[in-house]
Chains A and B, each alone.
Chain A
Amino acid sequence: MASAISVGLAFAALDFLAVVSVASYSKSISVWIPIVISSLLVFVVAGLFAELNGIYPSAAGVRLYMQKALGTNFAVVVMLAYSITIILAIAADAFIIGSAINFISGESSQLTYLWIVLLLAAAVISNLMGVKIAGWLEALITLIIVLGVGLISGFGVSKIVGHPNYLGFFNQSPVRIFQALIFAVFLYAAFEWVVTSAEEANNKKTIPRALFIAPVILLVICVLFGVALTGLVKFSSFHQSPYPQLLLGKAVFGRVGEFLMLFITLITAINTFNGGFMVASRFLYAAAREGILPKAFAKLNLKFVPSFAVISLGLLCMLGALVVYLTKQWLVLVSVGSVLEAIIYAIAGICVLIFRKRKIQQKGFKMFFGNVFAVLVLIIFIPMALLGAFSNPKNPSQFSLLPAAVIVVIFFLAFIYSKTVLPKLVKSRQSAAVKRRRPTKIVAQ
């Protein structure tokens, strides 16, 4: 179940576009190579997260690790930035799904945003009503997605004719190879969120196991999808499309394949909107309870749903989706997501090094050669983040300032918030402190 949660969190509609970015940098059909190489890097990261989970098994996850290792202010800024990126990712997903529905229905493209608003409104309303997807249903949905994409792509691979160059990836400059890896890392983004289920796991091995199994599953379906897409659909067609998966479906099984892929795209929305909204709204609730966000975000309705947080998320996602719809820059969000994930993985490496130096008692999984791998992660992911911030996700022959600009704005907003609004909230909480209710114990002399 934990593995299914991890895969479900990581595999969203946006991943189909991430494969397009990887294909842009990998000379098409050799797209499988950066996906495989990045999975090896992600395995190392999985080991680091498994060790961190063993030290601090908590729903607070990455936030707690950063807080303990690097201090509260740093943790707050990074998590706020991460939250903004999650909102953008949900917005981008809503855009992709809305576009896919619009494409199939054959309506005017101007109605795409209407579909997006309807999808997000449905997600907000179902969250507010306390509609929860049971764990087994979430696992079933993930299984359908994995099998559906895997089988359709597998059939697609079997239809590839000729002798395409499956190893063309290595005939490129080292910089371009590295850039392809950056986008490939995004395919596994958010798999580490499963650590937030630590308190639900009855067995200490459950979370570490999920952290290692999920990348394998993601690797297989992404490789199959990438090879089938690049082998059967013209680069010029899928490169400009916000729904490349529909093009593959059509190439494999005609109109039926298109509808099958649309169905799969729609059900990824269940995991994204259910899981994403729930995780994000709980984060906002916890942050408000802690005094990091205004109290309004901690307001609960009769269904124990942080209503203000959910509605705010919905509105922000609609705004984000509108920006994507108007600018058509959906792939920039893949760049932004890739860079932020690289930063989070580098921070995980730093946390492991710090905790090992402090000799924090380790009760669970301990990675062998943990110090070496943690340093390796820093050496790889920090340059990866820097290069990714200036890479054009569509055109490998150009650099772009746009991803860097978006990331700088996100971190700047988080930083300004931590320096201006947060101190006021802390001060207000301190001045509102009530008289102690617990009676003072008088100890007889």
Chain B
Amino acid sequence: MADWQDLEESLAEYQKTCNSNERLRKMQKDWSKIIHFKCSDNDITFTMEVVNGEITGYFPGFKGQPDIIVETDSETFCDMFWGDLNPVSRYLRGEIKVKGSQEDIMRLDAISAIIWPD
């Protein structure tokens, strides 16, 4: 089970990788969302803010009205943000639960596909 320190480390890496990817920034320039994350194996929750395709911040707890809500265990979150797992398989198996529009879900997955192509 990962703790908030592990998650924060993985989020920092994710933010750096996403924000430095030019192609991704260009594709996401019209995308501004608030995403809530919930760990199913502990009480940790956190929020990520995306403004015009740039991850501008992440905070512990829920903040603001979410556009997307993601729930899975803390280890999966860490692996996902480090790029060590392809979230689609877990999502299609129901191990990662996502609430949001189909387009936003696809964009969220597409981020992983673009910054860590197979």
Q: Which residues of B contact A300 (CB under 8 A)?
A: 27, 110, 113-114
Interface centre among A60, A64, A302, A437 (most CB of B within 10 A): A437
Q: Mark A174-203, 1 if CB is under 8 A from B, else 0.
A: 000000000000000000000011011000
Assess whether A298 is interfacial by the CB under 8 Å rule: yes
Q: A282-B106, A295-B118 are in contact. Are A64 and B92 (CB under 8 A)?
A: yes
A197 touches B88 (CB 8 A): no
Assess whether A285 is interfacial by the CB under 8 Å rule: yes
Assess whether A442 is interfacial by the CB under 8 Å rule: no
Q: Which residues of A contact B50 (CB under 8 A)?
A: none
CA distance A295 to B113 in the complex (A): 10
A436 touches B84 (CB 8 A): yes
Interface centre among B98, B106, B107, B109 (most CB of A within 10 A): B106
CA distance A197 to B118 in the complex (A): 28
Assess whether B64 is interfacial by the CB under 8 Å rule: no
CA distance A172 to B86 in the complex (A): 56
Assess whether B16 is interfacial by the CB under 8 Å rule: no
Assess whether A206 is interfacial by the CB under 8 Å rule: no
Assess whether A213 is interfacial by the CB under 8 Å rule: no
Assess whether B43 is interfacial by the CB under 8 Å rule: no
B86 touches A64 (CB 8 A): no
The interface on chain B, measured as residues whose beta carbon lies within 8 A of the other chain's beta carbons, has a size of 32
Q: Which residues of A contact B92 (CB under 8 A)?
A: 58, 60, 63-64, 67, 286, 290
Assess whether A56 is interfacial by the CB under 8 Å rule: yes
Q: Which residues of A contact B88 (CB under 8 A)?
A: 286, 289-290
CA distance A346 to B73 in the complex (A): 34
- Looking at the assembled complex, report how far the CB atom of A369 sits from the nearest CB atom of chain B, in whole angstroms: 26
B84 touches A437 (CB 8 A): yes
Interface centre among A63, A437, A438 (most CB of B within 10 A): A438
Assess whether A441 is interfacial by the CB under 8 Å rule: yes
A200 touches B118 (CB 8 A): no
B100 touches A437 (CB 8 A): no
Question: Quick check: which of B33-41, B54-62, B75-83 contacts chain A, the rest being far away?
Answer: B75-83
Q: Mark B76-118, 1 if CB is under 8 A from A, else 0.
A: 0011001110101101111001111111011101100110001
Assess whether A432 is interfacial by the CB under 8 Å rule: yes
CA distance A63 to B86 in the complex (A): 18
Q: A58-B92, A200-B102 are in contact. Are A438 and B78 (CB under 8 A)?
A: yes
CA distance A303 to B88 in the complex (A): 20
Q: Beyond the given A199-B102, A282-B102, A304-B27, could you list 12 further A-B residue pairs with CB under 8 A, ordered by the A residue number?
A: A58-B92, A59-B102, A132-B103, A286-B92, A289-B113, A290-B92, A291-B86, A304-B107, A432-B118, A436-B82, A438-B78, A441-B6
